[in-house]
Amino acid sequence: MYGAALKQLETKIDIINNEFKTLHKYNPIEHVSSRIKSKESIYKKLKKKGLEPTYENLVKTINDIAGIRIICSFIPDIFKIVEMLENMTDITVIKKKDYVTTPKTNGYSSYHLIVSVPVSLSMGTINVKVEIQIRTMAMDFWASLEHKINYKYDKQIPKGIKKELKECAKMTQKLDKRMSHLGRNLMEEEKQIVKEITTEYSTVYATALLTGNAGV
Ligand code: 0O2
């Protein structure tokens, strides 16, 4: 059921991306990946929560068994994608965590949505929870390195490395802001060029109409 929910969501995200490309002439999503949490990881998470490893506890308390990660170019894209997902009538947003506006104390930044997706099986329709993480390439770079370091030190990262990671996170945030600013300027320039071409074309066409040369 988790695999089916992921497939459905991936299709929806693909549709969002194509719609965005058509409407705004640019592609907000760099890439999308999905995964189903490993048994070991589910077991560890239940243990951490002080719960027995039962099917009921797993379904009720673990929100990220099925996970999708959406990587964008710029910070504003994250919020646009969140808005588009929220507007979809066939998925329900259960929970939102905005670590983009307010990063975690360790520096982690990303937008998390827990959504419920209806999956039709032969025995009926069930609602399946999926975690969607939306972040920029820079945020993803930081998070994947921090994840590896965490794994290496079994979540007991030495103080010096923690400090270094926090500084890197600050640099990542600055880089994201500057890149988003550059991206916005570039898009404004492109819009202006399209506007100028359209205006020029309209003038030429109107003149042609008035002089009876519209066919030309
Ligand atoms: P893995 O191995 O990536 O699957 P909740 O019950 O939903 O309130 P939860 O699940 O702890 O509590 O929620 P949260 O904080 O949204 O974290 C869910 C996932 O986000 C994590 O899953 C990570 O993938 C990612 N994440 C959260 N905080 C950090 C962080 O500080 N660093 C990195 N690198 N990733 C983070 P898992 O199960 O922890 O790990």
What is d(CA 105, CA 97) in angstroms, rounded to the nearest whole number? 14
Residues 6+ apart with CB under 8 A from 36: 2, 3, 6, 65, 66, 67
Q: Which two tokens stand for residue 14?
A: 């693909």
Q: Which residues line ligand 1 at a C-beta cut-off of 6 Å?
A: 37, 41, 45, 63-64, 97, 104, 106, 108, 112, 143, 146-147
Ligand 1 atom nearest the C-alpha of 49 is 6
- When pLDDT is averaged across residues 183-190 and rounded to a whole number, the result is 79
Encode pLDDT of 142-185 as tens digits.
999 999 999 889 888 999 999 999 999 999 999 999 999 998 88
Encode pLDDT of 19-77 as tens digits.
888 887 788 899 999 999 999 999 999 999 999 999 999 989 999 999 999 999 999 99
- Report which of residues 128 and 190 the model is more confident about: 128
Encode pLDDT of 111-129 as tens digits.
999 999 999 989 899 999 9
Residue 139 clears pLDDT 80, i.e. is over it: yes
pTM of the predicted structure, to 2 decimals: 0.86
87 Cα distance to chain centroid: 15
Residue 216 clears pLDDT 60, i.e. is over it: no
Q: To test ligand 1's pocket by mutation, which of 147, 151, 157, 168 has the most ligand atoms within 8 angstroms of CB?
A: 147
